[in-house]
Amino acid sequence: MHVSKTRRGRPYTKKGHFMNNRPIVALIERGGLVRSFHVAVADQATVCSIVRDNVARESHLHTDESNFYNRGLMDVRRHKRVKHTAGEYVRGDVTTNTVESYFSIFKRGMRGTYQHCAEKHLHRYLAEFDFRHNNRIALGINDTMRAENLAEGIVGKRLTYRRPDQARI
């Protein structure tokens, strides 16, 4: 079987809608902050570990019906699910609309503004979108405060470029 140069060495993925998706886990407080993670493999152990490490035990967690979210492994007070496969998107206060809105904005930015992102840099793009979400007007942060928060994030860091005569690391 002949494998094209662009395909060689890359894992096979599902065809169609999910073909170019990379595994990302996002945790978001309703009306609050977001924290997202690019993971090598999206499986139950990885997702539950991220939830355990980043979510307070007294939290109320809302997810879709995926088997990745096992309440016993995540150790949260309450876990409710919405069943997208049954056409359910909201049941009382149980919804995943907040995180879906975050992903919608992320995907639009990646398709419209950035258009291409190597997987090794995906965590940087996620950090930018996390910063945007966590420093928005809805949280009471104006342009001046956002610029100050951005400037605080660069303290002690230096951007350098490799000179053409330097070896690659």
What's the half-sphere exposure (Cβ side, CA atoms, 13 Å) at 60? 6
Q: Which residues pair with 78 in a beta bridge?
A: 60
The whole-angstrom separation of Cα 21 and Cα 16 is 10
The whole-angstrom separation of Cα 4 and Cα 10 is 11
The torsion defined by the Cα of 137, 141, 143 and 147, in degrees rounded to 10, comes to -140
Residue 20 has a pLDDT of 63
Among all chains, which residue has been given the structure tokens 């991220």? 50
Residues of the chain with pLDDT below 70 are: 1-20, 167-169
